[in-house]
Amino acid sequence: MKNLLANKQFRLLLSGQSLTMFGDVALFLALGIWVKDLTGSNGATGGVFLALSVPAFVAPFAGVYIDRFSRRMVMLVNDLAIGVLVLALFFVTSADRVWIIYVVAFVYGGSQQIFFAARSGLLVTMLDSDELGYANSLLESIRQGLRIIGPLIGAAVYSAFGGGAIAALDAATFFASAAFLALMRVSEAARSDERPPFREELTAGLKHIGRTPALRVVMVVICIALAVIGLLNVALFALVDEGLGRPPEFVGVIATIQGAGSILGGVLSGPALKRISEVNYLGITLGAVAVGLAMLTIASLPVIVVGLLIVGFGLAGHLVAYMTLIQKKTPEHLQGRVFSAAEAILTLPYALSMGLGIVLISVMDYRLVYVANGIVLAGVGIYLWFWRDPMPDATDVVTSRRPRGAPRPATTHPPKRPSTPGPSERSHSPESSATTPEV
């Protein structure tokens, strides 16, 4: 961690990211409140969060272009474009202009897919393999900390000054992040001018996941987990109402407690990944979430507080290990496409389980949702804990051939139909599937 923070380029990235992550969490809740105020409809409010998540399905298309250009420049242009876009919210003055909020939310969601995929690749370029876990750990800890205070500040700014003020605040964070990115000096690998057909580029991320044992196994396991985790978003309100006998506003307290556990999980993940493989650590974190969810079935506030802390710890650790696994198991030239393909794959079961939860929660005890999640997550956690990876990390292969801190070699695309994957092709997940449900 000390060497990581001594890296000036990483400090610049971290500074800009801290600002944009704050802007993100402050804006999201404010957009929902804004739509609710304008329309009075819960369904219309839910549409904001749907608009934010839908772009994940088309993320693989963006991944192609992320891998074609400098990741730093992709992030910089993305920040400037979204900073300008959110200013369009100033034109939302009545209910008949609420469509502007949906458009902004949709493009905003797409920009996040682009930014995080590019950031993942940039970290691989900037850092050595053994620093990636610490970098992801630090970024996740900051994100979780901001999730505690960001929505409160966003709601307060909206209430005091209106939607235009929160739009201006968010835009300012993007412009500041772009400034930090402009100050960075990173030696990125040159991109080859020779490109395979677009269809091959588009499917390259999915194919890499399929032929890399660790990524293939983890994607299947996380899909199984997300197929039930989405139910938790609906069961949360039943937990607050039926389990604790509290008003809906108590959900904010739940989020804060879980966020505190997530900060701890993010901080401890970096050191843990120095000693435990990413796949095995995913097993530990999913098992921790299972234990925490089991505790939420007990209608006692002290027990539920402990359970929420454990759940937060496990979810944050899960995200750090997932991101690090994608980075370490993927060659530099495929980072954007693999990350984007993974997000698209994981979004589907999560979205379907959220829809199923809306139907089931009205006909079944909320505690059964938590029990079902606990059983599934415990099962997949045990499986990942005992799983052993037969392949080396892609970043280890590259790092072993270059001096520490030296730029990576120029990027070349693999042959169209290799008979046997070479070392550079071998293989490393959710704001993002880095989707973190509130439980």
CA–CA dist 409, 152 (Å, integer): 45
**Bigger pLDDT: 79 vs 359:** 79
- Average the pLDDT over 381-407 and give the result: 67
pLDDT above 70 (res 405): no
pLDDT above 70 (res 245): yes
Long-range CB contact pairs, 84-93, < 8 A, 24+: 84/171, 85/111, 86/27, 86/167, 86/170, 86/171, 86/174, 87/167, 87/168, 87/171, 88/167, 89/163, 89/164, 89/166, 89/167, 90/164, 90/167, 92/34, 92/38, 92/163
- Average the pLDDT over 53-68 and give the result: 81
Domain membership of residue 418 (yes or no) is no
- Average the pLDDT over 302-310 and give the result: 93
- How high is the pLDDT of residue 399? 44
Render pLDDT for 169-214 as a digit per residue (tens, 0 to 9): 999 999 999 999 999 998 877 666 667 777 788 889 999 999 999 9
Instruction: Report the range of poorest mean pLDDT among 103-107, 109-113, 254-258, 374-378.
Output: 254-258
DSSP state of 402: S
Which pLDDT band holds residue 253 (cuts at 50, 70, 90)?
Answer: confident
Residue in the structure block whose two tokens are 């400090």: 11
Number of residues that this document lists for the chain: 439
Q: Domain range for residue 29? A: 2-185+201-409
Domain membership of residue 195 (yes or no) is no
Domain membership of residue 232 (yes or no) is yes
Residue in the structure block whose two tokens are 């969810």: 293
pLDDT above 50 (res 115): yes
CA–CA dist 270, 317 (Å, integer): 9
Domain membership of residue 50 (yes or no) is yes
- The answer to whether 303 and 131 are in contact (CB under 8 A) is no
Instruction: Report the range of poorest mean pLDDT among 174-183, 268-277, 353-362, 378-387.
Output: 353-362
Pinpoint the alpha helices (H) of 296-429.
301-328, 335-360, 366-386, 394-399
Domain membership of residue 11 (yes or no) is yes
Render pLDDT for 367-377 as a digit per residue (tens, 0 to 9): 888 898 999 99
Which pLDDT band holds residue 216 (cuts at 50, 70, 90)?
Answer: very high
- How high is the pLDDT of residue 247? 75
pLDDT above 90 (res 156): no
pLDDT above 50 (res 433): no
- Average the pLDDT over 27-38 and give the result: 85
- How high is the pLDDT of residue 439? 66
pLDDT above 50 (res 398): no
Which pLDDT band holds residue 418 (cuts at 50, 70, 90)?
Answer: very low
**Which of 4, 28, 164 has its CA nearest to residue 93?**
164
CA distances in angstroms from 30 to 55, 131, 153, 415, listed in the order given = 20, 35, 9, 48
In sequence order, which residues have a C-beta less than 8 Å from that of residue 160 and are 6 or more positions away? none
Q: How far is CA 154 from the centre of its chain?
A: 20
- How high is the pLDDT of residue 436? 53
Indicate the average pLDDT of the chain.
Answer: 82
Q: How far apart are the first and last CA of the chain?
A: 31
Q: What percent of the chain has pLDDT over 70?
A: 84
- How high is the pLDDT of residue 54? 79
Which pLDDT band holds residue 252 (cuts at 50, 70, 90)?
Answer: low
In sequence order, which residues have a C-beta less than 8 Å from that of residue 81 and are 6 or more positions away? 111
- How high is the pLDDT of residue 11? 93
Tally of domains in the chain:
1
Q: Which domain CATH number covers 175?
A: 1.20.1250.20
CA distances in angstroms from 53 to 48, 49, 102, 310, 344, listed in the order given = 9, 6, 12, 26, 10
Which pLDDT band holds residue 273 (cuts at 50, 70, 90)?
Answer: very high
- How high is the pLDDT of residue 86? 95
Domain membership of residue 225 (yes or no) is yes
**Which of 57, 384, 421, 412 has its CA nearest to residue 207?**
421
CA–CA dist 424, 339 (Å, integer): 17
Domain membership of residue 87 (yes or no) is yes
- How high is the pLDDT of residue 193? 63
Pinpoint the alpha helices (H) of 54-131.
59-66, 71-85, 99-126
Residue in the structure block whose two tokens are 């968010």: 170
Which pLDDT band holds residue 403 (cuts at 50, 70, 90)?
Answer: very low
**Which of 343, 376, 370, 344 has its CA nearest to residue 357?**
370
- Average the pLDDT over 219-241 and give the result: 82
CA–CA dist 183, 271 (Å, integer): 29
Domain membership of residue 193 (yes or no) is no
- How high is the pLDDT of residue 417? 36
Token pair listed for 121? 């690749």
**Bigger pLDDT: 410 vs 331:** 331
pLDDT above 60 (res 409): no
pLDDT above 90 (res 425): no
- The answer to whether 324 and 59 are in contact (CB under 8 A) is no
